[in-house]
């Protein structure tokens, strides 16, 4: 029997293939469960898929994690990592009188390592939650595949950090309150993205879904608390 390695982006049901080839044409398949097109995104440009992911579309999350070629998103994740590190480092540095951009190189590299550790820590927390509530799902997937899926969830949720770009561009044209409010909104979008991406992969049984999502929110709060503590420790080296 052919392994069903794809999923329907609408309902998450497993699928053997996303399209069938007839002569010189291809036709998208329909899901056996919901009877909709299995994956509409196979005909979309990657930029459109990224926009839908930023708009918190669960279908886009499922396509990126299960059906799409993740090579592009590894590169995008690297860009987001550098952007987030620069934004965090810039946030910790006081504005010079002339308004010129000033960031310590050592601080940038340090915060980059901190963000990488942050990604790994959140992945570990989600692995623990999923393994605790759905050990059968983990065993079915295999530990390596299971870990990769959860790591993709973390990376996709971090696409929210793209919204840090405006505050970097217009930093000198806003107030401290405006900057803090912007960072708070980005964090809120990041949390929503993490919860929806985790829910979209179907890592927990339906009767435990709300409990699992609650634990994801708690894990996110715990991670942010640990992040703030580490940031305070690192900040002592650059003040």
Calculated CA dihedral for residues 206, 210, 211, 217, nearest 10 degrees = 140
Structure tokens at 79: 């860009």
Q: Are 194 and 153 in contact (CB under 8 A)?
A: yes
pLDDT bucket at 155, cuts 50 / 70 / 90: very high
Q: Which of 125-129, 139-143, 215-219 has the lowest mean pLDDT?
A: 139-143
pLDDT per residue over 38-97, tens digit each? 999 988 888 899 999 999 999 999 999 999 888 888 888 899 998 888 887 777 665 544
Range in 24-38, 59-73, 97-111 with the lowest mean pLDDT: 97-111
More confident residue, 205 or 184: 184
Supply 154's token pair: 């973390």
- Our measurement of the distance from residue 159's CA atom to the centroid of its chain's CA atoms, rounded to an integer in Å, reads 6
Q: What is the pLDDT of residue 99?
A: 46
Q: Which of 100-114, 124-138, 184-198, 200-214 has the lowest mean pLDDT?
A: 100-114
pLDDT of residue 64: 92
**For residues 132 and 204, what is the distance between their CA atoms, to the nearest angstrom?**
10
Q: What is the DSSP letter of 22?
A: E
CA triple 191-171-178, angle to 5 deg: 55
């Amino acid at each position: 029997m052919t392994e069903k390695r794809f999923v329907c982006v609408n309902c998450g049901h497993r699928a053997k293939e996303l399209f069938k080839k007839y002569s010189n044409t291809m036709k998208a398949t329909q899901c056996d469960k919901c009877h909709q097109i299995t994956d509409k995104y196979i005909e979309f440009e990657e930029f459109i898929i990224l926009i839908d992911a930023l708009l918190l579309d669960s279908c886009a999350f499922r396509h990126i994690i299960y059906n799409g070629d993740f090579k592009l998103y590894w590169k995008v994740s690297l860009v987001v990592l550098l952007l987030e590190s620069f934004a965090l480092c810039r946030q910790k540095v006081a504005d010079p009188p002339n308004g010129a951009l000033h960031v310590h190189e050592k601080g940038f590299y340090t915060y980059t390592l901190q963000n990488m550790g942050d990604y790994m820590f959140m992945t570990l927390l989600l692995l623990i939650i999923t393994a605790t509530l759905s050990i059968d799902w983990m065993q079915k997937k295999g530990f390596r595949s299971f870990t990769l899926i959860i790591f993709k969830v973390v990376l996709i949720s971090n696409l929210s950090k793209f919204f840090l770009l405006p505050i970097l561009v217009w930093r000198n044209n806003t107030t401290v309150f405006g900057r803090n409010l912007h960072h708070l909104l980005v964090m809120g979008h990041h949390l929503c993205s993490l919860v929806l991406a985790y829910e979209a992969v179907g890592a927990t049984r339906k009767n435990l879904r709300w409990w699992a999502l609650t634990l994801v929110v708690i894990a996110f709060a715990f991670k942010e608390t640990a992040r703030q503590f580490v940031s305070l420790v690192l900040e002592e080296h650059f003040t």
